[in-house]
Amino acid sequence: MCGIVGYVGKQNAVAIILEGLKRLEYRGYDSAGICVQKGRKLNLIKKAGRVDNLSKEVAKHRMVGTTGIGHTRWATHGGVTDANAHPHVSSDGKFALIHNGVIENYAQMKAFLLKKGYKFKSETDTEVLCNLIAYHYAKENSRTKGQSRFVECVRKTLRHVEGTYGIAVLCVDFPSEIVGARKASPLILGVGEDEYILASDASALVSRTQNVVYLKDGEIAHLTPKNFFISTLDQADVSPVVDKINWSVADAELGDYAHFMEKEIFEQPAALENAMRGRFSADGSTAQFGGLNITPGEFRDLERFMFCACGTAWHACLVTEHLIERFARIPVEVDYASEFRYRNSPLDPRTLFFVMSQSGETIDTLAALREAKRKGYRVMAVNNVVGSSIAREADGGIYQHVGPEVGVASTKAFTSQLLIGAMIALYVARMRDMSFSDGVQYVEALKAAPALTRRALAQAPKIKAIAKRYAKYQDMLFLGRLSLFPLALEGALKLKEISYIHAEGYPAAEMKHGPIALVSESCPSVFFAPKSEIFNKIVSSMQEIKARKGPIIAITTEGTELPEGLADETIFIPECHEAVLPIVAAIPVQLLSYYIAVERGCDVDKPRNLAKSVTVE
């Protein structure tokens, strides 16, 4: 969940690293640091707080050099202090290291190193790793000479590591070189003109190059001014495959918007168009996917689907479960990825796994994928980042194609996951008992989603005014039924994430089974109340809230009439097909959460304690 940048080239590394850190700040913003090598000297500056704090400190010094590493931190081991910020320097002053991940056996390593006389200035597992590299380097004898000595001491150290890591290392004895390595934590090598960049995310290097090498687990990269070399922990040479990033730096710029979350909310119509482009059959009756690597016959033989995800993606899976069971009539189970790998769940042999992750690097989801494959199941992935770990390790998959999502609170990635889930439901349903005409109707409904979403976004001024009136509350309930129950969970999550208001999501009918005890004049409820066969049931639940003086914000479809005085605020969304309804219904709760957070003065794009991509367990 931290941001890593390393640079080797002819330019001044400082400006390049600071720019990269700024672009990576959504991955962690507790503290930041930079270390630049000039000759056989390591120049280090690190500060608690945002990257701006580091930039101001760097500006006070004349820091120059053509090789360096930088880091923006999301704290795991040790509090948010200057001392705990990265990079860390070994106690002998020979190595500087930045690290994303968790070293699980760091305590044993630290005890060993303390006995050997190594000193520690921080509480982090990273400093332990840095000192262990120094230990192996000092232990090397004349049998290992030249450039390989730097690489070999890193390699020997990593063989002792239990846990996860993405690292970049400098050594005073090897000016203009960086060694990087990864295990279950993303690390990308950017290949530029007479320069190389290591980063944990493509956004840090796309302004310099779009040519990248995605390092795999257990690989070590050795960067020099003129070339780079990749090998494994077992000393096997690797022939690198250079891929191309399919988006530009402009896609990750803020533009005229106040926040990335606002920008990404309003990008959703275009994002939906990109997610469905080229994915409908020529006769317009079903979906088609190019990367599933599974035949229609194999799909028809399936008896069960299993979806694993975390956070917002888990909510998208719940909606997908409803749509697959509703239209394809096949059982679906949704599990938290973090729980699946530790449960001994009985599984039908004719089960197909899906994992869902915007980043493709979510550590729990990646672990669930590996556990399912270990048990012999085929695993499909829905994710947004080409070349990510999940994309590479899955047996097949579907890319979201929505471009970079920088806001920590997911918006356009979520609605595109809902869309892809609806397309999967259609794809399976048409193989089973959905008719041609029903398929055509379903496809036309999905194609209308971008336009319907634009109409929902037109409600922004009204929702902004509602948000001003409700920003004072400290508790809120979100209530929905069937496919909109997961939207209640998502609405509550969004509000918690960025405004710090305590919020809970429930099925509306479950209110009587406990949560209604929370209802009062100071606890508003947001109801999803579209026109449907259970509309009267939802109205009945709303009346129970109203009878206890609870304020109500109703999200309903155009043309629907609620009993007079039942809702204090009403937000209308376009009437639409059942498969599209969750996508359109997501817009009001995204806007409501966003405007409430802005009204409360919260840092929307950098909510406290959170980072964008959860790459540590």
Catalytic residues: 2, 612
Cβ-Cβ contacts under 8 Å for 111 (sequence gap 6 or more): none
Which value, to the nearest 10 degrees, does the dihedral of the CA atoms of residues 75, 79, 83, 84 take? -30
Residue 479's nearest CA partner among 540, 559, 549, 547 is 540
Find residue 354's DSSP bridge partners.
307, 380
Backbone angles phi, psi at 231, to 5 degrees: -145, 175
Q: Measure the CA–CA gap between 185 and 500, rounded to whole angstroms.
A: 29
Place of tokens 């077992």: 234
Residue 371: how many CB atoms within 10 A of its CB?
18
Q: Measure the CA–CA gap between 419 and 413, rounded to whole angstroms.
A: 10
Residue 309: how many CB atoms within 10 A of its CB?
29
What the block records as the tokens of 368 is 């669930």
Q: Measure the CA–CA gap between 90 and 170, rounded to whole angstroms.
A: 11
Residue 297: how many CB atoms within 10 A of its CB?
8
Q: Measure the CA–CA gap between 306 and 314, rounded to whole angstroms.
A: 12
Residue 575's nearest CA partner among 563, 585, 567, 566 is 585
Find residue 334's DSSP bridge partners.
307
Find residue 5's DSSP bridge partners.
70, 199
Q: What is the DSSP-derived secondary structure letter of residue 361?
A: -
Residue 196's nearest CA partner among 159, 240, 238 is 240
Q: Are 55 and 20 in contact (CB under 8 A)?
A: no
Tell whether the torsion through CA atoms of 270, 274, 275 and 277 is positive or negative. positive
* Angle between helices 485-499 and 581-599 in degrees, nearest 10: 20
Find residue 508's DSSP bridge partners.
none
Q: Are 470 and 595 in contact (CB under 8 A)?
A: no
Q: Measure the CA–CA gap between 422 and 446, rounded to whole angstroms.
A: 8
Map residue 25 onto helix, strand or coil: helix
Q: Measure the CA–CA gap between 452 and 119, rounded to whole angstroms.
A: 61
DSSP 467-530: HHHHTT-SEEEEEE-GGGHHHHHHHHHHHHHHH--EEEEEEGGGGGGTGGGG-BTTB-EEEE--
Q: Beta strand pairing status for 228-232 and 67-73?
A: unpaired
Which value, to the nearest 10 degrees, does the dihedral of the CA atoms of residues 301, 303, 306, 307 take? 70
| Distances from the Cα of 144 to the Cα of 148, 153, 225, 543, angstroms | 7, 10, 22, 78
